[in-house]
Chain A
Amino acid sequence: MEAVAQQIPLEHFLVLSAILFSIGVYGVLTRRNAVLIIMSVELMLNAASINMVAFAAYTSPAAFTGIIFAIFIITIAAAEVGLALAIILRIFRNRGTANVDEVNALKW
């Protein structure tokens, strides 16, 4: 850990997580397939996890706070994916599509 910290500065991790997060946002906004949107959301969650772990390693290596946060994020992501895929499956069964543009019953 010590060695890695000396060779790679914190900024690199932050830039990586920012890029990952932006890719995720871009995916959420542009994709129409619900499954792909879920995958993009996963990217954003992972970006956040990287952020947590990186800060934990660089600022307070002795404490495990950030790492525990990351583990929580992974847990929540798993639950979220399970739930979201179930919903998408039901929508697909009902409407024969997973395209979110066509799922627009709730509007004025």
Chain B
Amino acid sequence: MGMSDAWVLPLLPAAAFVVLALFGPYLPRKGDWIAVLAIGAVFVLTLPIIADFTDALALQGEDFAGVANSIQWMEVPGHLELNFGVHVDAITIVMLVVVSFVALMVQVYSLGYMKGDARYGWYYAVISLFVASMLALVLADNFLLLYFSWELVGLCSYLLIGHYSHLRSAAEASKKAFITTRLGDIGLLIAIILLWRETGTLNIQGIIEAAQAGEVGREILTASVVLLFLGAMGKSAQFPFHVWLPDAMEGPTPVSALIHAATMVVAGVYLVARTLPLFELVAGGTELVLAVGLLTAFMSAGMGLVMTDIKRVIAYSTLNSLGLMFVALGVGSPAAAMLYLFTHAFFKALLFLGAGSVIHATERQEVGQLGGLWSKMPLTTITFGIGALSMAGLPFLAGFWAKDEILVALLENKAAFALVLVTLPLTAMYMTRVFVLTFLGEPKEPEAHEHAHEGPPTMAVPLVLLAVLTLVTGFVVFDQVGEAMGFPGGIGELIFLEHPHAFEFEVWVTLASIGLVALGIAGAWFAWVVRPELPAQAMARLRPAHALLANKFYLDDFYQAIIDRVVLTTARMLAWFDRNIVNDTGVNGPAYTTGFVSYLMKFQQTGKLPNYALAIVIGVVALALVAFSLKA
């Protein structure tokens, strides 16, 4: 297995999907073992690809630009050439590791979590399809395959959010997620078409090179970069498209861990990181990314503080993280963004799986109904705690290194730097809050607490593995560790080749961030442990602010109003036009007219022969008269 054989990876889970979708009900255990085996094989096959990659890196150093392998799909000579192919470089390697490992963990975890589910087999079929599409998405060397997989992961997301389809809320959440991301996807599609029209190729590297050579007009390039970013914003749930992600928590929790934390939602980050040279060519391109990322990170930090559903709190923390990744991209540091993406995948999946463990044990997910679970579920408590502290940014956990890298990258942009600093204590605060309310204190519902228990080993093992990774992945930032793992240049080589970028360390930045995080944790500890009556008082005091946050800045209501007033009104008008003008007048009108005229004319068919004969004679005489008069 070398890098050019990477096209095999998506085919394994795709085959698993076909087998499960067709024969799932007839297989023992509904075929879940096929899905797990397929993703396990993908993970194993990823290892030689990484080895091949490090070899190539050692040989060629910074000149190594990745390996491409593509086949022609169809060709219209002189007009169009469509290729399907894979492109493996450092950024792909990072994504491959994240996708295959987290998917494996989640599928193993689901063996326990989804046990007894009515649509167990279908769940495994769709999640296999998702893994296949996600792998194809990160391997694609051209926009066509990328867009194809982009839509497929969206479809799988839709299917899995709506997995509990008997719940109206789940059905609506899946619809909301699909439609909201579609809005951005249309932008991506238009951008791809524009870039193809200008450069004549769909190959991503080809388009970037053509744009850098100035072959794309300035206006077209600007438009396509903005549209491209719209697609990334939709998929990565950036403001103002962020509304779908918290609702997506209606899906099964392992799905939230895989799709809505570790992989699919970072597809937008991946896309922008891939096409960052295009953003840098456009005036204001990176600034747009920066602004959107900042706004998202800032808003979600506030909203995470007041949410009462354990999964929703984590969902807002995901928004927060995604915002930070875009901030890093916006200041031109894809290395920091990819490092954050890499570490985030592990600790966020860990958080979701921990939350899943709680939900599995208590069948409750409102923090107001939980509490005191540490005595019943010590393993979940410890692993969730590690994840929460990593998200908060406590030193030496995975999230800490990535977050500091982003801060260092931000140093030159004072305003953005200050804003990100403000979100740090907020993040620490809501993560501490959700941990405290769920696992510490007194059980709020003794009955639920009574029956709480740790999950089966299939659920415990992924938790432990992810927790270990959360503890250690951060250390890849040190060149020595990176080199020990086979990456000659340490983190810069591991994360992003085209911008060699070693880990930077600013003592005062680190101290400041540690201080702010500690402040947040201490504040949360004080408010929810030492003086538990304080939050209620603060809430009463700050009712408008709380209402604003709890109602998600009223954005959902705003969108609903737009849909009701504008979209539905327009739709009704168009429906009226379609029904009355197009259908009744345009299509049925001629038909009715023809019918009516036929009705009038049929009475001349008397069936009496002399009538016909008389008509013929009159006709002939009339024609003769006409002929004579014309001649005269």
Contact = CB atoms under 8 A, between A and B. Distances in A.
A56 B542 CA distance: 119
Contacts of A28: 610, 613, 617
B628 to A, nearest CB: 15
A37 B610 CA distance: 10
Interface string B576-620: 000000000000000000000000001101111110011001000
Contact of B605 (A30, A101, A108): A108
B613 A104 contact: no
Contact of B602 (A100, A105, A108): A108
B617 A100 contact: no
Nearest to B604: A108
A61 B609 CA distance: 41
A16 interface: no
Nearest to A101: B608
Contacts of B602: 108
A29 interface: yes
Contacts of A29: 610, 613-614, 617
Nearest to B613: A28
A76 interface: no
A106 B617 contact: no
Interface string B282-308: 000000000000000000000000000
Nearest to A107: B607
A85 B613 CA distance: 18
A25 B617 contact: yes
A105 B607 contact: yes
A53 B474 CA distance: 117
Interface in B309-328: none
A25 B605 CA distance: 21
Contacts of A101: 608-610
A103 interface: yes
Nearest to B614: A29
A98 to B, nearest CB: 11
B601 to A, nearest CB: 9
A105 B603 CA distance: 14
A105 B609 CA distance: 11
Contacts of B603: 108
B473 to A, nearest CB: 87
B607 A106 contact: yes
With a 10 A CB-CB cut-off, give which of B602, B603, B607 has the most chain A CB atoms. B607
Given A25-B617, A29-B617, A100 B605 contact: no
Interface of A: 25, 28-30, 32, 37, 100-101, 103-108
Given A103-B609, A104-B607, A107-B605, 9 more contacts: A25-B617, A29-B614, A100-B608, A100-B609, A100-B610, A101-B608, A101-B609, A106-B605, A107-B608
Closest 4 CB pairs of A and B: A107-B607, A104-B607, A100-B609, A108-B602
